[in-house]
């Protein structure tokens, strides 16, 4: 996948480039390793773009690996969702793997550590382990089972695998250093007993490897050269290296013989873990717990609700994948915790859509306008370019008639200062038609404006001799006779505050929800917008960028979602 903007310099790019140029790592292999226990969100897109992007940039390969070492939390539906999201973002993996593909290798590797005196079976229960671990400032104590013989450990571990012991009764632990300042090195668990059906391996295993053990060895087995992960794993790096070095897959082919037999090409590497900061966004939340809460409490309409920061939500909202990629490229990669202004993402979305979205006209809050100097029943078609700057997007015919819908807010009886639209006795340009003058304002008994009666200046019509006469404003319209009624869902930011995850002061997510984040209106669109394919992006002139809803849109019953409004210096001034 080619990059969408000039690459931004960052430390990971630099490290990889140096590794390639020096010949240390002539070929680059990376992986994106999500746990299939939830939906991917915008933050994950940063990792996806990094993992797949760096591989592509250096002519390397990137695997998609599902890190499925904790059965019970992981579901096949999530692995499908993850694949869909990665594809949507525009990436293709070299190989799809599961950590569970390597369970037999992990088991053999654990046995090797036991034989080497580097691992032991511990009978301490979870509470006892915690008590023995010490605290951040005090060293831990050795488990009384730490000194078991290799033979006993091997026997016990084999019986763990055979399913002889109950869940939690025993663990296999690495024998490292109970006094280490790094808690991860205080004899971390390698295997735990969990008699739980696994989504891939069924009931073949009563024991499952821990992340620290499985992840680094999976990387090595896949020949990964650069293993990118987030900052909180920085402390795990010594352990990552410890397992890779002590298991020494490259020097012990017998450990991964099962993969060879299964026809899985394997050439173990010495991968290097490099940590970077996650990217947070203002006005949203990214934590699985909070996202789940939004869905389960019905605060949104599901995981792909267009207000959700999930990738499926962003997609349904109409954020183009190219904009998502450009956004993360623009943001760079560093080791600083950040809270990125949501406006930057919106700016990327507008950049992309301004360049590529064809224009259409739609009226979301209709007010009838009659051109009294046109004959009753008058109708004609007017040719419009689909894009003001890109002729390759072609032209279309737009029906025009004596009665049109205009946007209610484009008329004001009492105009605020600086108002450039239609006022009584005033003139404005009807986009693509000509200059009209408002002669009469019709109201109902309640005093509400129900209709505007105007005259069109024929000299200002295309081909006339006053086409370039200047008026302050231009407004959009849809021919009433030809308009197609449409449901338009106006989305906005889900939360009203920059940090909705902030639960200090006893506030919760619900206190910060933006009640205006979803408004559904019935509007009128020009016929050429109604035939939209689901997921087609449009700019409705002067109102914003919209996408035909992926699931609900039908040409007979159009449904559009507002992706993001146009930049609006007028509305901003008013606030």
Partner RNA sequence: UGGGGCGUAGCCAAGCGGUAAGGCACCGGGUUUUGAUCCCGGCAUGCGCAGGUUCGAAUCCUGCCGCCCCAGCCA
Length of the chain: 575
User: Is 407 annotated as catalytic?
Assistant: no
Backbone angles phi, psi at 135, to 5 degrees: -125, -175
Alpha-carbon distance of 384 to 329, in angstroms, equals 35
Catalytic residue among 24, 115, 130, 288: 288
197 interacts with RNA by CB under 7 A: no
Residue from 43, 53, 188, 271 binding RNA (CB under 7 A) = 188
Part in contact with RNA (CB under 7 A); list of ranges 166-174, 312-320, 396-404, 529-537: 166-174
By CB under 7 A, name the one of 118, 420, 453, 550 that touches RNA: 420
DSSP 318-344: T--HHHHHHHHHHH---SS--EE-HHH
Find the binding residues for RNA in span 72-91 (CB under 7 A): 73
Q: Applying CB under 7 A, which of residues 79, 105, 333, 362 lies at the interface with RNA?
A: 333
Among 97, 215, 396, 402, which residue interacts with RNA (rule: CB under 7 A)? 215
Q: Binding site: residue ranges?
A: 35-37, 41-47, 67, 211, 230, 286-288
Residue 125 binding RNA, by CB under 7 A: yes
Q: Do 406 and 390 meet the contact criterion of CB atoms below 8 Å apart?
A: no
- Enter the DSSP assignment of 568: -
Region from 43-51, 134-142, 245-253, 259-267 binding RNA, contact rule CB under 7 A: 134-142
**CB-based contacts of 147: which residues, under 8 Å, 6+ apart?**
120
> Least Å distance between CB 303 and RNA?
19
H/E element, 530:
helix 527-530
Say whether 421 is catalytic: no
3-state secondary structure of 13: helix
The site that binds RNA (CB under 7 A) totals a number of residues, namely 97
Least CB distance to RNA at residue 334 (A): 4
Least Cα distance to 119 among 107, 131, 129 occurs for: 107
> Under the criterion CB under 7 A, does residue 341 sit at the interface with RNA?
yes
Q: Which of 63, 539, 561, 563 binds RNA (CB under 7 A)?
A: 539
Which residues fall in the annotated binding site for L-glutamine?
Answer: 67, 211
| Residue 201 makes contact with RNA by CB under 7 A | no
Asked whether position 192 contacts RNA by CB under 7 A, the answer is yes
Distances (CA, A) of 13 to 56, 64, 136, 231: 12, 20, 34, 17
Burial of 314 from C-beta contacts in 10 A (0-12 / 13-18 / 19+): buried
459 near RNA (CB under 7 A): no
Q: Which of 139, 124, 205 is nearest to 170 (CA)?
A: 124
Nearer to RNA, 129 or 441 (CB): 129
The verdict on 147 binding RNA (CB under 7 A) reads no
Question: Which residue, among 236, 406, 229, has the nearest Cα to 335 in the 3D structure?
Answer: 229
Q: Strand pairing partners for 398?
A: 382
Shortest Cβ 188–RNA spacing (Å): 7
Provide the minimum distance between the beta carbon of 510 and RNA in the complex, in angstroms, as a whole number: 22
**Among the residue ranges 85-93, 294-302, 431-439, 486-494, the one whose residues contact RNA (CB under 7 A):** 431-439
Residue 53 interacting with RNA (CB under 7 A): no
Q: How far is CA 176 from the centre of its chain?
A: 39
Nearest of 440, 537, 525 to residue 488 by alpha carbon: 525
- Restricted to residues 227-266, the positions that interact with RNA (CB under 7 A) are 231-236
Q: Is 278 a residue of the active site?
A: yes
Q: Which of 133, 143, 237 is nearest to 180 (CA)?
A: 133
Q: Which residues are catalytic?
A: 35, 278, 288
């Amino acid at each position: 996948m080619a990059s969408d903007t000039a690459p931004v310099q960052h430390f990971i790019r630099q490290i990889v480039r140096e590794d390639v140029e020096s010949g240390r790592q002539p070929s680059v292999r990376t992986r994106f390793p999500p746990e299939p226990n939830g939906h991917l969100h915008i933050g994950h897109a940063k990792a996806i773009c990094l993992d797949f992007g760096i591989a592509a940039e250096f002519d390397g390969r990137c695997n998609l690996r599902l890190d499925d070492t904790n059965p019970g939390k992981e579901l096949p539906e999530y692995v499908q969702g993850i694949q869909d999201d990665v594809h949507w973002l525009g990436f293709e993996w070299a190989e799809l793997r599961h950590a569970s593909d390597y369970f037999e290798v992990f088991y053999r590797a654990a046995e090797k550590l036991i034989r080497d005196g580097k691992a032991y079976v511990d009978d301490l229960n979870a509470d006892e382990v915690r008590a023995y671990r010490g605290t951040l400032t005090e060293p831990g104590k050795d488990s009384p089972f730490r000194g078991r013989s290799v033979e006993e450990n091997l026997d016990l571990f084999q019986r763990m695998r055979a399913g002889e012991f109950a869940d939690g009764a025993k663990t296999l632990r690495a024998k490292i250093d109970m006094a280490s300042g790094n808690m991860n090195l205080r004899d971390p668990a390698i295997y735990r007993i969990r008699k739980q059906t696994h989504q891939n391996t069924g009931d073949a295993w009563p024991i499952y490897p821990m992340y620290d053990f499985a992840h680094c060895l999976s990387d090595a087995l896949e020949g990964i050269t650069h293993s990118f992960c987030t900052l909180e794993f920085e402390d795990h790096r010594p352990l990552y290296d410890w397992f890779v070095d002590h298991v020494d897959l490259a020097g012990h082919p017998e450990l991964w013989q099962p993969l060879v037999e299964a026809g899985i090409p394997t050439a173990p590497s010495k991968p290097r873990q490099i940590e970077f900061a996650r990217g947070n966004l203002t006005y949203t939340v990214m934590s699985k717990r909070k996202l789940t809460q939004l869905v389960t409490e019905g605060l949104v309409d599901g995981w792909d609700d267009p207000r959700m920061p999930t990738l499926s939500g962003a997609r349904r909202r109409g954020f183009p994948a190219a904009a998502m990629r450009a956004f993360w490229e623009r943001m760079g990669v560093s080791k600083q915790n950040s809270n990125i202004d949501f406006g930057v993402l919106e700016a990327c979305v507008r950049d992309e859509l301004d360049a590529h979205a064809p224009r259409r006209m739609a009226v979301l809050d209709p007010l009838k306008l009659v051109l009294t100097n046109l004959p009753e029943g008058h109708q004609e078609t007017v040719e419009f370019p689909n894009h003001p700057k890109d002729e390759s997007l072609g032209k279309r015919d737009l029906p025009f008639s004596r009665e049109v819908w205009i946007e209610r807010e484009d008329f004001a009886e009492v105009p605020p200062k600086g108002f450039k639209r239609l006022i009584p006795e005033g003139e404005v340009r009807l986009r693509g038609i000509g200059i009209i003058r408002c002669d009469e304002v019709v109201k109902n008994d309640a005093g509400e404006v129900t209709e505007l009666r105007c005259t069109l200046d024929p000299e200002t019509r295309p081909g006339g001799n006053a086409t370039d006469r200047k008026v302050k404003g231009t407004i959009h319209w849809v021919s009433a006779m030809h308009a197609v009624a449409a449901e338009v869902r106006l989305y906005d930011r889900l939360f009203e505050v920059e940090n909705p995850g902030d639960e200090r002061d006893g506030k919760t997510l619900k206190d910060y929800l933006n009640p205006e984040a979803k408004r559904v209106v019935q509007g009128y669109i020009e016929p050429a917008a109604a035939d939209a394919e689901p997921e087609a992006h449009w700019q409705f002139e002067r109102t914003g960028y919209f996408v035909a809803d992926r699931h609900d849109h039908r040409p007979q019953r159009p449904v559009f979602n507002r992706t993001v409004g146009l930049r609006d210096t007028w509305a901003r001034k008013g606030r």
